[in-house]
Structure formats: C-alpha cells, structure tokens
Structure 1
Amino acid sequence: RRQLLSRLHPLSVCAYTDDPLFQLAASDKYVRIMAPVEDRTTRYDRRSAPIETNRKLRIGYVSSDLRHHAVGYLMVNFFEEHDRKDFEVFAYYTGIKADDPIQARIKASVDHWRDIRGVTDDEAAAKIAEDGIDILIDVNGHTRDARLGVFARRPAPIQVNWLGYPGTMGSSFHHYIVADDFTIPAYAESWYSEKVLRVPCYQPNDRKRIVDETIPTRADFGLPDDAFVFCCFNASHKFTRFTFDRWMEVLKATEGSVLWLLDYSPETNQRLKEQAEARGVSGDRLIFAPKLPNPRHLARYPLADLFLDSTPYGAHTTASDALWMGVPVLTWSGRCFSSRVCGSLLNAAGLSDLVTDTPEEFVERAIHLAGQGRGELEVIRARLLANRDTCTLFDVAKLSRSLEGLYRRMRDDYLSGNLPQPNLTNLDAYFEIGVAQDHETREMGAVTDYDGFYKAHLARRHYHHPIPADGRLWSGAEEAEVKPVSIAKPKAA
C-alpha cells in the first residue's frame, strides 16, 4: 500500500483521500520528479522581466482542453466575456488535434491562438517568452497532457494555477491559485503552496450551452415512470467505497428508488451491480445512461429528481450542468478543493441548503428529499430555475471582471516586490505522515482535529529528528516545547 501511495499521480490522490496536506506533499514530490527546476538562467526565463504599465496586460492561458471537453465547455463563454481593451489574451493549446464548435468559439475570442502541441518544453517556453506574457495561467495543473515543464522554465514573471486541477500544484513556480471563499476557506490556506486569491465563484460557465430541443422521456432511458430517480453522472474513478456505501444506504431507505449512472463499460457496470448486491440492494436498481452528444445528454438531466455527489472528488462540470438544467444537487463538503467545488457551486446558485457537512447529514437529507420532503424538493427546483439567470454561478461577466481585477492585483504585487513565494518547507515530512495512513479503511474526513492530527505526528518526528519551523502547522514555539506524544488514529468509517 505504501509503495502504491508513493507512486500515485496527484490527480489520483484527489480521488483517493480527503487529506489536503498529503495532496500538497504528493504534488511537491511529483513536481520534483517530473519538472526539476534548473538554477541556470535561459533566454526564456523571465521571472524578473519588467511588466510595462503603459500597454495592455498580456495574459496567457495554457491548456490541452480548449475544445470539446469539460474545461472547454466551462471556459468558452469566459473567453468571450474577457476584456480585450485592457488585456491582450493568448491561448496556448497543448491538446489533441481538434476542430469543433467549442474550439472555434475560443479561437474567435482570443487575440492570439498558439498551437504548441508538437513542440518541446524549451520551444514552448521560448515562444511564450517571445510573446512577452506577463501572467501565465496553468489551466491544466496536474491533469492529462499538462505542460508542467513549460512552467518550470519560468517563461512569465507571474504564474497561476486556475480551474483545470482541483488542488494545489505544490511547485516552486506557481505563485497564485484562484479559488473562492468556499473552495478554500481562510483556515485552509496553509494547505496550499500558492497564495490564495478569490473570486465570487471560481468556476466559469457557458450561458450559451446548446441543449437538444427534443424532450426525452424516462422510457427512452429505461427509467421507471413512478420511481424517485437519483443520479450521478460523475466519472467512475470518483466512486470510492465511502461514497458507494452512502448511496446504498439511501437506496435501501427509499423504496422503489433507482440510481442513474453513466454507462461506463460492461465490466464496470457489472462490478457496480455486484457491489450493490453485496450491500443488500438489487443490482437492477442501478440504471446506466448510454453516452450521448452533449446537447442530448444535457436534455435528459431533468429526468432525474436529485443528483447525489461523490466524495472526496465531487461533481464539478457535471454539477453545474445539472444546476443549469434545473436538477438539484446534494453534496457533502470535505477539506480538499476537489471535495468542496460542488458546495461552492451550490452556494453560488443560492442553494446552500443542499450542502451538508457530514456523511450522516448527507444520507439523512437525501432520504428526506426522496420521501416526506418531495414538496420541498419541488420548491428548490423552482427556485433554481427562477434564479438561473441572476445567480452568481452563471454570471460569467461578473467572474470575468473579478478575475481581471485579480490580474491587476498580481501585477501590482509583482511591481512592488511582493510576488508570493510558494512555501514548500517540510513537505517530505508531511508526505511521510500521509503515506503511512490507511486511507482504504479510514476516512480522513472523519478526523475531527485535522491540523492537530498532523501536528501530533510532526511532534513525534521532531522528537527523533528535529524539524524546522515551516509557517504552516509547525512553528518555532512548538519546536521549543515539543514532547513525545501518542497519536490518535483516524476514526474508522
């Protein structure tokens, strides 16, 4: 288990455990292996480059997903709303060859489109440096086809983590992360290597989504007409044992209800049915939705009564799609960014009453809404549709102005010599603590004093091998006062 955890990709860690300090340490470890920072200065190293104030601020977005992809769907309307009078917008595309309507809209909305798919990191960094980018946005983070090596070469004086990866980069060359008050509360900032800056809701959305005009029926998808339909259209890698246990508790307590999932593969579908049976729920109550073009997929969302979220990697684009189509989403929020996105979206949609704080509350609320609370659910659904055009979640212009304001603030930080430097101190120690936990059988979200849990482990390590103060959880005062401690294990799930 330890060897497996030591080799997990940071994105897999997001789906594996609600342990943000371990995620931070795992990201740091990954970056040091995959994109070691060289001390030598190159022609494209612009970490100290001047930013001129008498011209437009040059913003570059690096992404493999500016196409028919969840991130492309989210960003396209944002690009269309971007202020082109004060900002010169560059898009650096690193993904597969594509020629679809989403990419066409993005190309039409930026000042410069650069295809850097087939070039080396050195060549890509040189091009970005040649373009004189002031602020470079990493829209991939630790996701597929990311160009981490480009950012390691520092082709822009300011580099930012936003949107594509739901967590910290753990790198020395990402200065900021864009979040909101819910995804990263003030008390959680020490769990991130970047300086946290906030907008009203970190996720953009496309108000021009195309929805198929044909109205589907439940019969079209094998759904019972008279059943309460729970759904979750998240990717199957987000289904942990803890998530599935709670879903089955809900199904067992709501007679005749069904759970509507995406059709993943015959093997995955069969395994999910077997897991349901093992928990005392008929596998026939799991119904699988075949993959469809996005307009048709969106059109079938309203056939569901309630979307049930997963944890610790919850619904992101799937949640905003559901909310746009008028389907309420129920979530419970943990500690990690990936487990708090859905709660952020619900708050921005004016539905904070669908955000729960514990698994027990999540199960209880789902059972209530599917039973005696059906009238309440209809009120929530009506409120969602009534507020769709005015709520923060779908106010793309507001997000654009807010983010542009952050860009100006980043520039001012840089010009005044206050560019934040990532804190990576002691992350090997945090990694060793996190990797030693049995995340398979213990739910880290059940640890009531999370910071205290890590401090106790740090204290024990410090007693044997002194640890320097890190400005995160371990302070100089604690170094002087530390004594051997006993470690309370996380509560078993």
Structure 2
Amino acid sequence: MKKSFEQALKEYQAGRLPEALKFAERALKAGGANHPGLLALIGNIRFKSGDRAAAAEAFARAAEKADDKAAAGYLKLAVTLAQAAGLTDLILSVGARAVKLNPADPELAFTVASAFFSRGHWGEMTPMLDRLDRRNDRHMALIVNHHRLLGKFEALWAELDKGLASKPDDWFLNVSKFAVAREVLDFPTIERHAALMRAPDAPFAAGLLAREPALGRILWSDDEALNARPTQETPSYAATLPSATGRTRRAFSAPGEKIRIGYLSNDFHGHATMTLFLEALATHDLERFDVTLFCYTERHAAAQQAAWPEHLRQLVVPVGHLSDADAAALISERRIDILVDLKGHTMGARLGIVNLSDAPVKATFLGFPGSVTGIDLDYAITDPIVTPDTSKPFFAEKLCRLPETYQPNNCRTRARPQPMERAAAGLPEDAFVFASFNAAYKITPRTLALWAEVLRAEPDSVLWILCRPALARRNLTEAMMAHGVAASRLIFADNVPYPAHVSRIPLADLALDTFPCNGHTTTSDMLWAGLPVLTAPGTAFAGRVSASLLSALGLPELITESDAAFVEEAVRLARDPYALTALRARLDEARARAPLFDNERFAHHLERAFEMMADRARAGLAPDHIDVEALPARTAPFISDAPVG
C-alpha cells in the first residue's frame, strides 16, 4: 500500500492525473481504505480532473478516518465541492461536524445551514445559526426564514431589533421587520410602514419597495400600479430573461396535433394548490391534450401523490434534481407547447426555469394573485372579477380570463364536514360567532378597525380567529381592547388537520373577510363547509378573490360595496337569524349546482383557454387578451351528495 501511495503522490505532483488515480486506487485496494491521507489525495486528484462530486465524496471519507484537526480541512473541502456539485445529501451527512470543527467560518455555516433549510430540516440547522454573520444580509435572511417557519417570533423580533439598533437604515433589516410585524400583528410598526408608503417615491420608501418580496406587497397594497413595480425578485431573474440570454421560442405544434401542456410547481402534494386543482387536473381530456406535471416538490411528494388517480401519477416528471437550465431543456425535449407555472412569486418558486424555457407559450396560473413581474410570461389566467379591464395596463402578461372564476375547486376528494358541537371548539352556545380563518398576517389596521366596529355594534357576539403565534395573539388582543372590544370576546383557534378544520367551520355563524388581501383557498374552504363569507371588493386581484368566488356560487349579496356597508351587513345578519338561515340554505344548494365547485366545468373552460392560446400561436399571432365564453348553465346538480353545513 505504501509503495503505491508514494507512486500515486509522485504522479499527482507531476500532473499525471490518470496515472496518479490508478496508483491511488491500487493503494486503496491494498489496505488503504482507512488512510485519510490517501483518501484526501484521491479527493485532490478527482478535483483537478474536474470531477467535483467524486472529490467531495473522497474528502468526506477522509474526514471520517482523520482526527478533528485534519478533518476540519477535509470537511470544508467536502462541503464546498458538494455545494458546487449539487450534492445536498452529502452536505446533510457531514455538515454538522464540518460547522463544529470550523467554528470561525460563517460562510461554511451558511452553506450547511442553507442545505438543511432547503430540505425542511429546520430544527437541525438551529445550532448552526450562532455561527452566521449577522452583518451579512444573506445570513440574516436565513435566520429570519428559519425563525418564521419555526414560529420563533420573539427570538426573531429580538434579532431584528438588535440589528436595527446598530444599522437603523439597513434595507434588509427594515423590510424584514415590516414583514414580521404583519405576522406578529405589531400594529404600530405596520402603521409606520403605511405612513412611509404614502410617499412611495421618497428615497427610503422607494428602497424598501425595491427590496420587498412581491408576495409581501399584496398583503398591504391595493394599488395595482404600485404592485406592478419591481420587487425583491426582479434582479435575481434578470440574468435568465431572453433579453440577457438571447433565447428564442420554439414553434407551436402543428394543427391537428395534441396541445402539449406542462404544469410546473413544487406544490404537487398536500398543499392548498392541490386542494383546489387536483380534480380539475385529473379531468383533462388526454385525447386532446398531452399533459405533464414537472414536479420539483421535495417534501412528502411520493407519499402524498400515491393517493392520486393512477393516470395522474403517470404524468409526473421529477425535475427537482435538475438545474434550471437542465429542467428547461427537458421541457423543450418533451416539446411542451404551453408551460403553465403554478407558483408565481411564492416561496420555493423556480421561475428561472420559466425564463430559460423555449416553450412557445408561457402562462401563470393560480399560485400568485397578481402579475408575476420580471418573468418571461405571455398570459395570466384570471377571471373578469379579479382582473377587470382596468387591470390590463398593470399586468405584464396578457389576461386570459375564464368566464366564472379563476379558481378551481375540488369537490369529490375534499374533506366534508362531520357533525361537531360548539363546546368541542370552545365556543359559547348562545353568542353570535363571527369567524376568520385567514392567515393572521392578512389582518391590517383597516381589517382590525372594521372587525372591532362590527363587534362593538353587536355586543352579544364573539370573534373566533385562527392566529397561532403567541405574540400575535397578545398584540391582537391589546389592539382590540384599544378599539373598545374586551379580550374575552376573542376566541383563538389552533391549527388542526384539514378534515377537523372543515368540520369545525360550520360552528360559526358568519365569516368576516380580510382587506386588502382576502381569503383565497380559505374562502373556498368556508363556503365548502357551509359558512357564508362577507367581503368587500378591493381594487387589486388579491382583494377581489372572495368576490369572484361568491359570484361563482351565486351569492352576490355577500359582496358589499364599501367598508360602511360591510359593517352594516354584518350587523344586520347577526340580528336577523331568519335571513342568515335562508342564506345558508341557498349556499348549501348552490354548492352542488353553481360553478364554483364544478371542477369538470372548470376544466373544460381551462382547456378552451389553452385552445384559444394555441389558435393564436399557430396563426403566428402575438399573445393578446382572451376572454373564454362560458358553457351553458347546468340544469342538474353535478354532485348528489354535497356536504351540508
């Protein structure tokens, strides 16, 4: 072994890499498997030969056999090379020891912690956070996201306050604090942000806007022009746009061929997207459409997809292991005509794939309620309520409007309410129960004021609200008390599994919407469970969703014209049990007849939209606004056993 090792080292130093590798492997077979120096030499040979993956694995094996002092260097090399080669599993296997043995290397800690974060191992990355550099925005972003996802809001608030104490004008820290303020319902901080945004072109406000995530903006902005401005995501995707790469589109398939649809998402699992879209997706006419689901879901995908219809599982093509460029190449190889991104500017999106794709037509659908700015897209699939004609100037995409609602909805596979008593949910039997199951971060000062006005006007009522973080509960209680509403009138709901959630919804009497960002899947859940939702339409997509859903259910009277009308109607329904009972009866009947939960009808409308896109492309015409005509109304229920709220 010793002789082969020495010869391998000699060949390596002379730059004769193939010969060096041959002698090193001979030494390995001759008993060198436990020799860290030999394993490290193989790592160096592999690295200089351009095989970073094999080099990373060799250095990792060398570290296993070495003492801590030598292992520190080997592990640092293993992690660095594994990151470059995309070997996340290798980083996960050696990362904790690498960070421990290199305590003064924050960039190494960041690389390892990022790998754990990407795989959802949030708790395991916690010890690495102390090694990160709080002065580095990338490192702080990882800390912020870690604490948010684990619900460590008190610790996160303290981190941000400490950072801002030394850097009060830091863009990232301010954007983060304003975002976290919405999650913990720190209304003074939210109001400070609102004051800044009254002058959005002032230097500090403009800087905040440019660094704000698009998804964060729609939580507070009802201004379509403001929502169309560049966001945090814009610079990161600029390098993959056709203007930077010179990429051109392929020709659309010939008339008479199947239209090839490719859906792109990481939400092909038990996510809200599939709560809405699974059945319509499975309803696609595969005689006319060739459908592929390009899936980069990492967590629980296989287990949760196992419950899907067999024909739908067969359409899944994993791309999570591919780079953006390789995924785009695969989409091209499969000759996709229309690439439909289901994410938009939401967490985990890989919009670089969309930009790099040469698909003839590209559309955004369902994931993001607004224009997906900064991305090479042709169409946004919407409806006339969420995007009336006045929205057209503010969308980078052309509008493809479905006739009744943009939102599909499962009805046969969706959990159905089971009988439940109020006492089991901690609700009073004799009070009128207003409810909101929307995410707490949608509770703006305007929403707070409206809810408080309703509760003051109807003293024998309570507000049942889904608000998990303890800090948010405290802040909301204090804010309501400042508005003259006793703490005893707030009843907080915990997160429960979806079937249990659907069963508890009908225990409430009336749901109150949030503004300017409505409930989306949440609104459809409540309507499905039989609970009327009161809303007021906004002036941007996210604030018009509930109006779209209520219109598709045939309950336009729940769409009020103004804030004052919203309060007036909430109080009227609370005082008129006969009117509310009649409304709930209409809702129960409409679920089996109205378009909202008719996923087969929705699928036909969506397919017609694709055909209209194809007609334009095949005729050599540029994308333009499209309005899909509605099918004739049904004359009979489409499901015979709709749930009873």
TM-score category of the 2 structures, normalised to the smaller one: 0.7 to 0.9
Q: Is the CA contact 1:76–1:102 (under 8 Å) kept in the aligned structure 2?
A: no
Q: Is the CA contact 1:167–1:337 (under 8 Å) kept in the aligned structure 2?
A: yes
| 1:33-52 alignment, distance < 5 Å | 33-36=236-239, 37-39=241-243, 45=247, 47-52=249-254
1:70 to 268, 272, 285: 272
TM-score, normalised via structure 1 length: 0.81
Q: Is the CA contact 1:72–1:102 (under 8 Å) kept in the aligned structure 2?
A: no
Instruction: List alignment gaps of at least 5 residues for structure 1.
Output: 423-493
2:443 to 239, 255, 259: 239
Q: Deviation at 1:181?
A: 1.5
Is residue 2:392 matched to residue 1:189?
yes
User: Whole-Å Cα distance in 2 between the matches of residues 370 and 383 of structure 1?
Assistant: 17
- With over 3 angstroms needed to count, the CA separation of the structure-2 counterparts of 1:31 and 1:5, relative to structure 1, is closer
1:167 to 370, 374, 385: 370
> Which residue number in structure 1 is paired with residue 572 of structure 2?
368
Q: Deviation at 1:30?
A: 3.3
Counterpart residue identity of residue 136, structure 1: L
- Tell me the secondary structure at the aligned position of residue 525 of structure 2: helix
> Which residue number in structure 2 is paired with residue 440 of structure 1?
none
Higher normalized contact order (CA 8 Å, seq sep 6+, divided by chain length)? 1
| 1:21-60 alignment, distance < 5 Å | 21-27=225-231, 30-36=233-239, 37-39=241-243, 45=247, 47-60=249-262
Q: Deviation at 1:111?
A: 4.9
Q: Is the CA contact 1:183–1:344 (under 8 Å) kept in the aligned structure 2?
A: yes
Is residue 2:495 matched to residue 1:291?
yes
Counterpart residue identity of residue 171, structure 1: G
Larger Rg: 2
2:409 to 184, 205, 213: 205
> Which residue number in structure 2 is paired with residue 466 of structure 1?
none
Q: Deviation at 1:139?
A: 0.5
Counterpart residue identity of residue 89, structure 1: V
> Which residue number in structure 2 is paired with residue 383 of structure 1?
586
- With over 3 angstroms needed to count, the CA separation of the structure-2 counterparts of 1:203 and 1:210, relative to structure 1, is closer
Structure with the bigger percentage of helix: 2
1:249 to 438, 442, 453: 453
Cα-to-partner distance string for 1:68-120 (whole Å, 9 max, x where unaligned): 11111101111121111100111011233214446641664265211222321
> Which residue number in structure 2 is paired with residue 11 of structure 1?
215
Q: Deviation at 1:290?
A: 1.6
Q: Deviation at 1:46?
A: 5.5
Counterpart residue identity of residue 422, structure 2: R
> Which residue number in structure 2 is paired with residue 434 of structure 1?
none
- With over 3 angstroms needed to count, the CA separation of the structure-2 counterparts of 1:212 and 1:41, relative to structure 1, is closer
User: Whole-Å Cα distance in 2 between the matches of residues 375 and 181 of structure 1?
Assistant: 33
Kindly, what percent of the aligned residue pairs are identical?
36
User: Whole-Å Cα distance in 2 between the matches of residues 212 and 196 of structure 1?
Assistant: 34
User: Whole-Å Cα distance in 2 between the matches of residues 366 and 225 of structure 1?
Assistant: 19
- With over 3 angstroms needed to count, the CA separation of the structure-2 counterparts of 1:366 and 1:242, relative to structure 1, is same
User: Whole-Å Cα distance in 1 between the matches of residues 409 and 358 of structure 2?
Assistant: 29
2:613 to 368, 390, 410: 410
> Which residue number in structure 1 is paired with residue 529 of structure 2?
325
| 1:430-469 alignment, distance < 5 Å | none
Q: Deviation at 1:266?
A: 1.4
User: Whole-Å Cα distance in 2 between the matches of residues 77 and 379 of structure 1?
Assistant: 30
- Tell me the secondary structure at the aligned position of residue 168 of structure 1: coil
User: Whole-Å Cα distance in 1 between the matches of residues 542 and 520 of structure 2?
Assistant: 8
> Which residue number in structure 1 is paired with residue 140 of structure 2?
none
- With over 3 angstroms needed to count, the CA separation of the structure-2 counterparts of 1:83 and 1:349, relative to structure 1, is same
> Which residue number in structure 1 is paired with residue 175 of structure 2?
none
Q: Deviation at 1:322?
A: 0.8
> Which residue number in structure 1 is paired with residue 429 of structure 2?
225
Is residue 2:348 matched to residue 1:145?
yes
- Tell me the secondary structure at the aligned position of residue 423 of structure 2: helix
Q: Is the CA contact 1:35–1:152 (under 8 Å) kept in the aligned structure 2?
A: no
> Which residue number in structure 2 is paired with residue 438 of structure 1?
none
User: Whole-Å Cα distance in 2 between the matches of residues 100 and 384 of structure 1?
Assistant: 35
- Tell me the secondary structure at the aligned position of residue 511 of structure 2: strand
- With over 3 angstroms needed to count, the CA separation of the structure-2 counterparts of 1:307 and 1:262, relative to structure 1, is same
User: Whole-Å Cα distance in 2 between the matches of residues 111 and 52 of structure 1?
Assistant: 25
> Which residue number in structure 1 is paired with residue 477 of structure 2?
273
Instruction: List alignment gaps of at least 5 residues for structure 2.
Output: 1-195, 197-204, 626-645
> Which residue number in structure 1 is paired with residue 331 of structure 2?
128
Q: Is the CA contact 1:152–1:173 (under 8 Å) kept in the aligned structure 2?
A: yes
- With over 3 angstroms needed to count, the CA separation of the structure-2 counterparts of 1:40 and 1:192, relative to structure 1, is closer
User: Whole-Å Cα distance in 1 between the matches of residues 225 and 547 of structure 2?
Assistant: 20
Q: Deviation at 1:253?
A: 0.7
Q: Is the CA contact 1:388–1:394 (under 8 Å) kept in the aligned structure 2?
A: yes
TM-score, normalised via structure 2 length: 0.62
> Which residue number in structure 2 is paired with residue 61 of structure 1?
263
Is residue 2:547 matched to residue 1:343?
yes
2:319 to 103, 111, 116: 116
> Which residue number in structure 1 is paired with residue 379 of structure 2?
176
Q: Deviation at 1:414?
A: 1.1
Cα-to-partner distance string for 1:262-307 (whole Å, 9 max, x where unaligned): 1412111111111111111112211111211101110111001011
- Tell me the secondary structure at the aligned position of residue 332 of structure 1: coil
- With over 3 angstroms needed to count, the CA separation of the structure-2 counterparts of 1:210 and 1:78, relative to structure 1, is closer
Q: Is the CA contact 2:254–2:618 (under 8 Å) kept in the aligned structure 1?
A: no
User: Whole-Å Cα distance in 2 between the matches of residues 211 and 111 of structure 1?
Assistant: 24
Q: Deviation at 1:363?
A: 1.0
User: Whole-Å Cα distance in 2 between the matches of residues 283 and 360 of structure 1?
Assistant: 24
2:290 to 80, 84, 88: 88
Cα-to-partner distance string for 1:13-71 (whole Å, 9 max, x where unaligned): 100110111111135x73344343244667xx561334222321110111111211111
Q: Is the CA contact 2:242–2:248 (under 8 Å) kept in the aligned structure 1?
A: no
Please give the root-mean-square deviation of Cα atoms over the aligned residues, in Å: 1.9
Counterpart residue identity of residue 453, structure 2: E
